[in-house]
């Protein structure tokens, strides 16, 4: 008997894209794969309803949807569905259809039948987000989503409107205090946040180093590694009922004396006891360190507990520019001499072997930071785009009051640059997206982790991002590395900044409230606007001017008016913009991910549960040339483009370095130096294209 229920025709067809005829890939096979996928799988496995009423009632009565009748009449809902269906949405690639049905579409409780198509998900998200504002707002969201102008982050898009669902926010950060209560609070938070699907990042720079004193006895502390081990196991345990593995990151200040051990945990041949497999790691680099490396002066790693004992402050809260000389001359501070350049090379080596660590340039993140009057940005998140103030909470024993301070909570979403530009709807898209993000913040209340709850309640931070930059440039015959790309990014992201700030001011005006501490910020004193009120940001090249034809670009006069309104009404969100790497969601949108360059004209995409071939959006034989792989680009030019975008982004940008295995550690370290100098706040993964023997033989021949 033959038992083979694994073979799927659509996967075969999708794989057949890679078969070359006359030196061209079989791109048409992708359309065949979409068709086969619908005919042989999706349609057969979708529950059919005779009428919309029957569908909505069934979904509500069977506990799939929340009771939308509490907020809308059936006629209103029908209006939203009809509007969406009239747009006749079709999935443009197998990847987008496959990703949607595999990961986002609502299924029945058996997990076998689909209860939603893409249109239904869009309607449910729109109704959910607009439920306190009425059908007109729902129609605005519906238009934004079905036009594929904006894509909420996975937790929002996946969960909105569902009765039994996870949280709508995905991204959390917190500090860890250097005591058992603080560590316990962190592990507890990690488990809870991970169980609701969040990615969690911790700053472990405050933890005393290996060999430091505990209760005055020297040599007792275990350092940061054991805590990383605990966190790693915690994340893998709390995995959303097995749906997806928990994900977490830890950041360590580069001056912390455990830094070398911290980096070694990712090396290929390292002892099992100190190897960290699934936890992501990041290094916090203050300017002082880069200065020591530039001057090639000796660099001292500091034992943080001795700093606490001497100054009553945590090492990573100190301004290293001010305190470094003091620390190295004070004999009570325990330290270890190393070579800063060698440490940069060690980071490069670790990146070549593992892609890690992320890099967070602390002073770059604080230089343009509008909230400096309230606090500092100390570290970043799992994707290195969230950059907000944080402060460690004091956790006490049972029966004594804790002092809860700011953790970080962020909810994200991304504009699709190509559709927003083509539809000439930057203003509407940004403002409607800001409303959607605000709604998510409003309905989120993570009571089980009070520091996260406090941050969301008081700061209402969101992170509006963007995707499809390379796709949009390529379809308009602009090279990603060109001056025109810089020109485009400079204007586009200035506009995102302008309209998101305007939206935030409008929401503050409507609600008659701002985020806590607004009066202490650069928005309130007006200095934030200096660079915009003195200079216009218009396109400087002909090509880019043409792209913006018919679109109003805010002038310095507009900025002056906005400044005045902001000072009068305040702003609602402490943070507004953050450019996430958005992987899965960019597939649904048939977009190139984030603002990063593509890696291949046909991307081989590996997930934990599938491998898919994904031809890049808008790719044709005519524009093939513009789809240059990130691995073939000058990384300095990529960083240069990111730095131009960064000027208009209040948080960060997930920036991936694409290197080849022949690149040396020096090449990588030069990218860090360049990124630091041009003002990048962080670097995300380093990806490496492998060399193979074929390639070696051919270039040696």
Partner 1 sequence: MKQYKAVNWNDPENDYALMFWEQNIKQFWIDTEYIPSKDIDSWKALSPEMRECYKKALGGLTLLDTLQSHTGMPKIMDHIDSLQNKSVLAYMCMMEAIHAKSYSTIFTTVATSQDIEDIFNWVQNNKYLQFKASTIDKYYRKLAETDISKEDLFMGLCASVLLESFLFYSGFFIPLWLCGQGHMVASADIIKKIIADESIHGVFVGLLAQDVYKKLPNPERAKEKLIVLLNDLYENELKYTEEIYTDVGLTAEVKEYVRYNANKALMNLGFEPTFEVKRVNPIVLNGLNVETTQHDFFSKKSTNYEKATEIVHLRDEDFAMDTSIAI
**Shortest approach of partner 1 to residue 222 CB, angstroms?**
23
27 makes contact with partner 1 (CB under 8 A):
no
Q: Determine, following the binding rule CB under 8 A, whether residue 314 of this chain makes contact with partner 1.
A: no
| Strand boundaries in 541-681, DSSP class E | 602-607, 610-615, 657-660
Q: Kindly report the backbone phi and psi dihedral angles of residue 615, in degrees, each rounded to the nearest multiple of 5, phi listed first.
A: -70, 140
Out of 483, 545, 555, 560, point to the residue binding partner 1 (CB under 8 A).
Answer: 483
Part in contact with partner 1 (CB under 8 A); list of ranges 72-80, 269-277, 330-338, 466-474: 269-277
Instruction: Round to whole Å and give the CA distance between 497 and 495.
Output: 5
The first and second tokens of residue 188, run together, are 């507890």
DSSP 8-state class, residue 598:
P
Name the E strands within 403-455: 408-416
Candidate list 213, 345, 553, 561; residue touching partner 1; CB under 8 A: 345
* Tokens 């238009």 belong to residue: 143
Please report how close the Cβ of residue 87 comes to partner 1 at its closest, in angstroms.
30
45 is a site residue for partner 1 (CB under 8 A): no
The residue behind tokens 């690149």 is 663
Catalytic residues: 381, 383, 385
Asked whether position 355 contacts partner 1 by CB under 8 A, the answer is yes
Residues 654-683 that bind partner 1 (CB under 8 A): 661-667, 669-670, 673-674, 677-678
How far apart, in whole angstroms, are the C-alpha atoms of residue 97 and residue 34?
7
Query: Would you list the DSSP string of 206-272?
Result: TSPPTT--BTTBTT----HHHHHHHHHHHHHH--TTTTS--EEEEEEETTBTTHHHHHHTT-SS--G
Question: Minimum distance between the CB of residue 697 and partner 1, rounded to whole angstroms?
Answer: 8
Binding mask 223-252 for partner 1 (x = CB under 8 A): -------------------x-xx-x-----
Q: Pick between residue 138 and residue 276 the one whose CB is nearest to partner 1.
A: 276
Nearer to partner 1, 26 or 565 (CB): 26
293 binds partner 1, rule: CB under 8 A: yes
Nearest distance from C-beta of residue 456 to partner 1, angstroms? 23
User: Can you tell me which of 220, 277, 332, 336 binds partner 1, judged by CB under 8 A?
Assistant: 277
* β-bridge mates for residue 154, sequence order: none
172 sits in which H/E element: strand 171-175
Min separation Cβ 396 and partner 1, Å:
34
Q: How far is the CB of 548 from partner 1 (least distance, A)?
A: 15
Residue 614 Cβ, how far from partner 1 at the closest point, in Å?
9
Identity of the residue, 348 or 653, whose beta carbon is nearer to partner 1 in the bound complex? 348
Residues 375-414: x where in contact with partner 1 by CB under 8 A, - otherwise, as a string: -------x--------------------------------
Which of 23, 609 has the CB closer to partner 1?
609
Q: Does 608 bind partner 1 (CB under 8 A)?
A: yes
Q: What does the per-residue mask of binding to partner 1 show for 566-585, with x meaning CB under 8 A?
A: -----------------xx-
Among the listed ranges 35-43, 270-278, 314-322, 447-455, the one in contact with partner 1 (CB under 8 A) is 270-278
Tell me the C-alpha distance between 129 and 151, whole Å. Answer: 13
Which of 20, 29, 24, 22 has the alpha carbon at shortest distance from 614? 29
* Least distance from partner 1 to the Cβ atom of residue 379, Å: 18
The closest of 618, 605, 619, 592 to 102, measured between CA atoms, is 605
Of 172, 171, 177, the C-alpha closest to 392 is 177
| Cβ atoms 564, 558 nearer than 8 A | no
- Residue 583 tokens read as 């992987």
The residues facing 315 across adjacent strands are none
607 binds partner 1 (CB under 8 A): yes
422 contacts: CB under 8 Å, gap ≥ 6:
none
Using CB under 8 A, which of the segments 84-92, 149-157, 265-273, 359-367 binds partner 1?
A: 265-273
* Tokens standing for residue 112: 């076998």
Give residues with Cβ within 8 angstroms of 174, minimum separation 6: 186, 189, 200, 201, 202, 203, 390, 393, 407, 408, 449, 451, 452
| Residue 11 interacting with partner 1 (CB under 8 A) | yes
């Amino acid at each position: 008997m033959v038992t083979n229920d694994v073979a799927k025709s659509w996967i075969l067809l999708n794989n057949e894209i890679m078969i070359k005829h006359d030196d061209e890939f079989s791109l048409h096979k992708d359309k065949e794969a979409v068709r086969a996928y619908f005919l042989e799988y999706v349609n057969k496995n979708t529950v059919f309803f005779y009428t919309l009423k029957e569908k909505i009632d069934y979904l509500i009565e069977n506990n799939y949807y929340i009771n939308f009748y509490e907020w809308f009449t059936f006629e209103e809902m029908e209006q939203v569905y009809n509007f969406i269906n009239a747009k006749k949405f079709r999935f443009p690639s197998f990847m987008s259809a496959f990703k949607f049905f595999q990961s986002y579409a609502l299924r029945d409780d058996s997990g076998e039948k689909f209860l939603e198509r893409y249109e239904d998900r869009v309607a449910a998200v729109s109704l959910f987000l607009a439920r306190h504002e009425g059908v007109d707002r729902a129609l605005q969201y519906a238009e934004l989503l079905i036009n594929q102008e904006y894509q909420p982050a996975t937790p929002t898009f996946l969960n909105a409107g569902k009765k039994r669902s996870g949280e709508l926010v995905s991204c959390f950060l917190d500090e860890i205090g250097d005591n058992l209560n603080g560590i316990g609070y962190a592990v507890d938070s990690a488990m809870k946040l991970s169980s609701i699907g969040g990615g969690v990042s911790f700053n472990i720079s405050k933890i005393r180093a290996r060999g430091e004193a505990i209760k005055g006895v020297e040599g007792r502390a275990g350092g940061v590694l054991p805590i990383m081990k605990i966190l790693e196991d915690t994340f893998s345990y709390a995995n959303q009922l097995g749906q997806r593995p928990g994900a977490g990151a830890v950041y360590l200040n580069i001056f912390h004396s455990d830094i070398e051990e911290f980096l070694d945990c990712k090396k290929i041949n390292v002892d099992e006891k100190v190897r960290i497999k699934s936890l992501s790691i990041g290094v916090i680099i203050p300017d002082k360190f880069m200065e020591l490396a530039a001057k090639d002066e000796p660099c001292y790693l500091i034992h943080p507990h001795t700093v606490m004992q001497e100054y009553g402050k945590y090492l990573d809260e100190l301004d290293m520019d001010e305190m470094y000389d003091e620390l190295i001359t004070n004999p009570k501070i325990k330290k270890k001499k190393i070579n800063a350049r060698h440490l940069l090379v060690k980071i490069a080596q670790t990146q070549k072997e593992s892609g890690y660590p992320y890099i967070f340039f602390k002073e770059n993140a604080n230089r343009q930071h509008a909230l400096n009057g309230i606090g500092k940005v100390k570290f970043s998140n799992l994707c290195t785009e969230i950059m907000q103030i944080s402060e460690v909470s004091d956790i006490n024993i049972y029966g004594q009051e804790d002092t809860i301070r700011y953790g970080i909570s962020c909810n994200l979403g991304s504009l699709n640059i190509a559709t927003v530009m083509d539809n000439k709807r930057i203003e509407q898209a940004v403002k409607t997206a800001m409303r959607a993000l605000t709604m998510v913040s409003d309905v989120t209340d993570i009571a089980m982790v009070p520091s996260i709850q406090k941050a969301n309640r008081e700061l209402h931070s969101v992170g509006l991002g963007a995707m499809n930059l390379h796709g949009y440039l390529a379809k308009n015959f602009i090279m990603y590395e060109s001056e025109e790309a810089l020109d485009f990014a400079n204007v586009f992201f200035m506009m995102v900044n302008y309209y998101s700030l305007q939206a935030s001011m409008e929401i503050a005006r409507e609600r008659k409230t701002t985020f806590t501490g607004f009066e202490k910020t650069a928005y309130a004193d007006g200095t934030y606007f200096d660079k915009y009120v003195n200079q216009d940001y218009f396109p400087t090249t002909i090509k880019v001017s043409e792209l913006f034809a018919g679109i109003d670009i805010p002038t310095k006069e507009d900025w002056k008016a906005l400044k005045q309104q902001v000072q009068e009404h305040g702003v609602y969100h402490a943070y507004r913009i953050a450019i996430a790497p958005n992987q899965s969601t960019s597939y649904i949108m048939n977009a190139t991910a984030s603002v990063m360059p593509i890696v291949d004209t046909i991307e081989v995409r590996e997930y934990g549960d599938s491998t898919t071939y994904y031809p890049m959006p808008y790719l044709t034989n005519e524009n093939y040339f513009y789809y240059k792989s990130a691995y073939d680009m000058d990384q300095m030019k990529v960083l240069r483009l990111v730095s131009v975008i960064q000027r208009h982004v209040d948080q960060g940008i997930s920036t991936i370095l694409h290197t080849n295995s022949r690149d040396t550690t020096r090449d990588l370290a030069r990218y860090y130096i360049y990124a630091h100098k041009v003002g990048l706040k962080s670097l995300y993964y380093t990806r490496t294209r492998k060399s193979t023997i074929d390639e070696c033989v051919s270039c040696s021949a």
